[in-house]
A and B are shown apart, each in its own frame.
Chain A
């Protein structure tokens, strides 16, 4: 037997499959959309407020879907609450050094923030007859505080999944510390893209849409840099990607999901197509990362 590339090659795959891939995608959308909405609330113009509300409208359904996907992925779904409470004592279950433990709590708490933002956005748009809920969102003081906390939690939800993969002993996942960063940046890019697509469908032309376009281009460029840095950080383990997964990463993520949209944004061509491509690339990225580390 040849010398192994890394001691991580002796671990067993956890059999995390499509449910986890979809969760990584919608979890990223949930956290990223909320965060972008907070940014628009604080730094956008008055006419951008529908765009911020759109972010909250995306976030809440996505975080609910996340919880469902994660529960279904358990081999004993009826025991999902064991993540939060010890099953024999009913005391809180929390390990600050286990990303899955922190993540479970983060999902629950962020879910509450996301629900509040969702309701206040509905109230502001007069779709919900509950005027008091308007104070739960900026520029009201309480709303401002909730937004900042929720935005931070949103980024946590988007990024902890990458850290969770790194805190294992599987090849690729645990051979780089950059997966969390990649997922955070990617969450921002796919969320901006989805918001842009929906804004376009509504025919919105407010300044925030243009700002979001520009931001998306920058974030995709950053994502490209982080992915290259991640590949370099793998060292010899990079050879584990010299197969069909590597080709999919190159074509599906780097070419279709990053370089093509960047070119479209750069030349002010078809921004809609660019946003669609970013979303496709973001999904394939999670697909490759989840599956490629389990086939080796």
Chain B
């Protein structure tokens, strides 16, 4: 296996140009409009609104302004699949369509997916959606085809401010930590890394430098694996079955004490 590869996104230098969104759509041949319908949000420069089957990159525009709008700031963040080391979508996928590649990225094989949508509900980040063209679940592939040819993903290649950086996870983590230290020294005490260590889902192969709480960026503070409920859920179900069975036996026995002899 090649060394794990991924993205480090420094949100403090994102300018919201959406070049990454466009580059992603061009390379991956995703439709520019949703069935011919151009939708405008009407209250933001963000008209994409969320990641889905035809938006594998999404630049979030978080506006933090005072009521009189005299003071405020924009928080911009280019969102993408996190390519989790312990990936919830991959865990639940019943067809085996979701696989881990030699680059440690997570890819949905469109020809195997049958559109059951279990992965959509499993992803703690809301990354996956059905692509209406293919009828299958789709998301960022970390440009698997480009990586196999020794190229970097389209989005990071297009990013003009190096907000999206591509590389080996080991190298990116070092680079990101240096940037956090630099920001801290400059007085930006809120700077920290989201998902850069293996505490969150074993590590996010696409991790972020943020300057506010995760939920401000629409990121879960504490994402978990779906199978956390598997054991307890199964035991309780079995318990339910046993109790119901006993109720049935007692009910039937009371009404027919001589059932055994009476049977033909």
Would you call B182 an interface residue if the criterion is a C-beta within 8 Å of the partner chain's C-beta atoms? no
Residues of A within 8 A of B117 (CB): 14-16, 75
**How many Å from the CB of B67 to the closest CB on chain A?**
16
Beta-carbon contacts under 8 Å, A155-178 to B: 155, 159-160, 162-164, 166-170, 173-174, 176-178
Would you call B224 an interface residue if the criterion is a C-beta within 8 Å of the partner chain's C-beta atoms? yes
Residues of B within 8 A of A168 (CB): 92, 118, 121-122, 226
Name the contact of A215 in the complex, choosing from B95, B116, B124, B248 (C-beta under 8 A).
Answer: B248
Residues of A within 8 A of B71 (CB): none
Would you call A10 an interface residue if the criterion is a C-beta within 8 Å of the partner chain's C-beta atoms? yes
In contact, A104 and B224 (Cβ under 8 angstroms): no
Would you call B251 an interface residue if the criterion is a C-beta within 8 Å of the partner chain's C-beta atoms? yes
Q: How far is the CA of A174 from the CA of B229 in the complex (A)?
A: 7
Q: How far is the CA of A193 from the CA of B213 in the complex (A)?
A: 51
In contact, B126 and A10 (Cβ under 8 angstroms): yes
In contact, A82 and B97 (Cβ under 8 angstroms): yes
In contact, B243 and A3 (Cβ under 8 angstroms): no
Would you call A12 an interface residue if the criterion is a C-beta within 8 Å of the partner chain's C-beta atoms? yes
Beyond A74-B115, A97-B230, A159-B241, whether A7 also contacts B255 by CB under 8 A is no
A21-29, A203-211, A242-250 - interface stretch:
A203-211
Beyond A163-B230, A163-B237, whether A218 also contacts B251 by CB under 8 A is yes
Q: How far is the CA of A79 from the CA of B224 in the complex (A)?
A: 30
Q: How far is the CA of A40 from the CA of B263 in the complex (A)?
A: 11
The interface bits of chain B over 116-133 (1 if a CB of A lies within 8 angstroms of the residue's CB, else 0) are: 111011111111111000
**How many Å from the CB of B134 to the closest CB on chain A?**
8
Residues of A within 8 A of B150 (CB): none
Name the contact of B112 in the complex, choosing from A10, A39, A87, A164 (C-beta under 8 A).
Answer: A87
Q: How far is the CA of A174 from the CA of B233 in the complex (A)?
A: 10
Chain A interface mostly: helix
Would you call B221 an interface residue if the criterion is a C-beta within 8 Å of the partner chain's C-beta atoms? yes
Residues of A within 8 A of B226 (CB): 167-169, 174
Q: How far is the CA of A210 from the CA of B121 in the complex (A)?
A: 43
In contact, A180 and B234 (Cβ under 8 angstroms): yes
Name the contact of B237 in the complex, choosing from A159, A169, A208 (C-beta under 8 A).
Answer: A159
In contact, B227 and A88 (Cβ under 8 angstroms): no
Name the contact of A83 in the complex, choosing from B111, B114, B136, B239 (C-beta under 8 A).
Answer: B114
Beyond A7-B224, A82-B114, whether A222 also contacts B247 by CB under 8 A is yes
Further 16 A-B residue pairs, CB within 8 A, beyond A101-B94, A166-B233, A211-B251: A9-B220, A11-B121, A11-B220, A15-B117, A44-B259, A45-B258, A45-B259, A45-B263, A75-B114, A93-B96, A177-B232, A180-B236, A214-B255, A215-B252, A219-B247, A226-B240
Q: Which 6 A-B pairs have the closest CB atoms?
A: A75-B115, A180-B237, A79-B114, A7-B220, A177-B232, A12-B126
